[in-house]
Chain A
Amino acid sequence: MKKLLLSAFIAAGLAGRLCAASAEDSKIFTPFFDMTLSEAAFLPSEGNIFSGGNINTQVGLLSKITQKDQLFALYNFNYSGAGFAPQDSKQFTDRSMAHGFNLEYRRSVTDRIRVRPGVGFNRGYSRTGANEAWKNGLYNMNSAGGQLAADYIFDEGKNGYVTLQYLLRTVTFPNYTDLLREFQDPANRASVNGGLQDQTMGQVSLRPAWNKFFGGVTYTVQNYKNQKVVAASGVYGDTKQKDTDTMLDFGFHHRLWIFEMYPMVSYTMHESNQNFMKYKFLGDTAPEFAASYYNFKEMNLSVPVDLNITSKWAIGGAFSIQRRAYDKRYARNADNDFTTEKQVNTMTTLTGSIRKRINEVAMVRLFGSLIVANSNNKFEKYMPYNYTGNSFGLAYQLSY
């Protein structure tokens, strides 16, 4: 679920980047290259040291066919390694990898209006700490679909524009199997492997940007093709699962004297018609029903600041917080019983870093972070909810 939302937001973010890449007047072909790489060691308060990294590579080519027509092709490789993660998202040792291909046609209708139809394909792999082969990942995912975007440029001098975009994706999970159903009814393969996570995803976004300020509203709908909603009786009913996300976000990237700031804030409302049956242990004959278990409101705030001491060196500091409050999910105590409090998770990260600009296109950063994760959910048999951790590592970025 989290992964899919992430891919949706990446799709929205990618659209922004696609829009940002612009052709140089004198050239027919303009390449686009961005590679970021980070690797860090993680020391959690519970458990042993581990390492993990992130790689994001975007390579693209913008072709100017005529003065009004352009074609933009982009390949995106993303690897997200082991690391600390917000509660209810993934295990520390889970990793994922994705290949994305986007092809976009741009047509300038007038000096101020541009339309951008496009197609996109994505292949995602997942891997747990068991180190299974990438091709066998339970949450491996393929998606394909199209987009239609329109830009209205209102201030050419300060790069001010508004983008309205509609995006549609068909998503399949070829390896997904419902482990609980497999355990309960091993003979019934159809209900276990019948593409339970397969879905269509639609997304509408309206995003204005001006003078390095940006923001917007993004509405995402996930319609499950086969997954049914579990009823209070404990069996799946006839209603298919449907999830929606409404996200508002705002940020900017500005310099003030030696300070370079790029804060970002977002607020997400997640709603799902799916409910939950809590089995206290395997074989529990009296499971507890929890309605609207997955609905939540989430706030993300990150405030990174770099102090440019010289043209080459900068000292950086960053504060980020993620707070998720569930609408109806009650927190559990250490014995796996629901309490009377609604579950609230927070994860706060403080980062200190030193950045060296190698030249106009490349930089390296050494960083150290302190992570504090808190939750009123005290049932931590399978996933940590309350922990502290340190991480330190290095990151490279090269973009053209």
Chain B
Amino acid sequence: MGKIMKKLILILLALFLVKSPAFAAIDWESKGMQIAGEIIANPAGFFYDFQQDLEATTPLPPGKSFGIQTSLFPTTIPMTYTNASLKVRLHGEGRIAPGVPQLDLIGGYWDMLAAKMATKDSETVDSAKFGGYYAGAIMSTSVSPRVRTFWGYKRSVLKAKLDFKAGQEPEFLGTKVNSFDTGFKDDFFIAGIETPKGINKLWSIQLNYGLNTQTFSSKVSWYGKYFELGLNIFPEGVLVFHPVWNFHLNF
């Protein structure tokens, strides 16, 4: 039955695409220009969306003391964000007293490899620095044997700086770009819920909301022992959907 349903979904989706009378009218060129314009208007916001992809903002599985994570897609590949994240459990649920939630510390760091390479080899780029970090805490509590809710805080910081060599400045949308120096920092509130999907497989959905910049995202994730697959949605971002693939180990 599952296979038949999946085929049906594909057929229906294909029909929607083919049957749509408006589909032929899509102006991809102007859409591309609009996207490029949005990146130029807020480059830090664009790069920060990828930082959110690598941020490990789900609680440690029950019984685990610490965990490490590195994000593979779309961060390391293709954005060259080399990154590492760490989770440490301060106390397990109900350990101190019945009903006291689990508390984890979370944090991570990333550095864009392409920026380093560009500075070293490029004839146009004079200096480049793209990187960021985050730190916070996640509190989780079981509301039934199969459901955990979690709440958290994170501080996220991003720095993006690029200088072009004199005389080598590129033109973008008719304007010469000499350099840009931008950044992003905000305090986020996190709320989510986690539920099992199978043996050692979990499913979660969460909201991350930046208190100062009103930046927000929804993360839908499926994770097992080694990998996490996710769909991060940035409704106000340049690229609304980010499919995510992360590797993690929990001990």
Contact = CB atoms under 8 A, between A and B. Distances in A.
Answer yes or no: are A and B bound together in one complex: yes
Interface of A: 29, 31, 33, 35, 37, 39, 43-45, 48-49, 51-53, 55, 57, 59, 77, 79, 81, 95, 97, 125, 131, 134-135, 309-310, 313, 352, 354, 356, 358-362, 366, 368, 388-390, 392, 396, 398, 400
A41 B99 CA distance: 43
SS class of chain B's interface: helix, strand, loop or mixed?
mixed
Q: Which of B23, B191, B235 has the most CB of A within 10 A?
A: B235
B1 A396 contact: no
Shortest beta-carbon contacts, A-B, top 6: A43-B22, A134-B214, A53-B235, A368-B16, A390-B20, A49-B26
Contacts of A53: 233, 235, 240
B241 interface: yes
A79 B209 CA distance: 11
A37 B41 contact: no
Contacts, number: 119
Contact of A313 (B1, B216, B236): B1
A31 B143 CA distance: 7
B38 A37 contact: no
Interface of B: 1, 5, 8-9, 12-13, 16, 20-23, 25-27, 30-31, 38, 41, 99, 141, 143-144, 146-147, 149, 191-193, 195-197, 203, 205, 207, 209, 214, 216, 218, 220, 233, 235-236, 240-241
Contacts of B218: 35, 37, 55
Contacts of B191: 35, 57, 59
A95 B193 contact: no
25 contacts: A29-B99, A35-B191, A37-B205, A39-B240, A48-B25, A48-B31, A49-B31, A53-B240, A55-B235, A57-B207, A79-B235, A81-B235, A81-B236, A95-B236, A313-B5, A354-B8, A354-B12, A361-B147, A362-B203, A368-B12, A392-B13, A396-B205, A396-B220, A400-B144, A400-B193
A39 B220 CA distance: 12
Contacts of A48: 25-27, 30-31
Given A31-B149, A53-B235, A95-B236, A352 B12 contact: yes
Given A53-B240, A313-B1, A390-B22, A37 B233 contact: yes
A135 B235 CA distance: 17
B22 A389 contact: yes
Contacts of A79: 216, 235
Given A45-B22, A354-B12, A77 B209 contact: yes
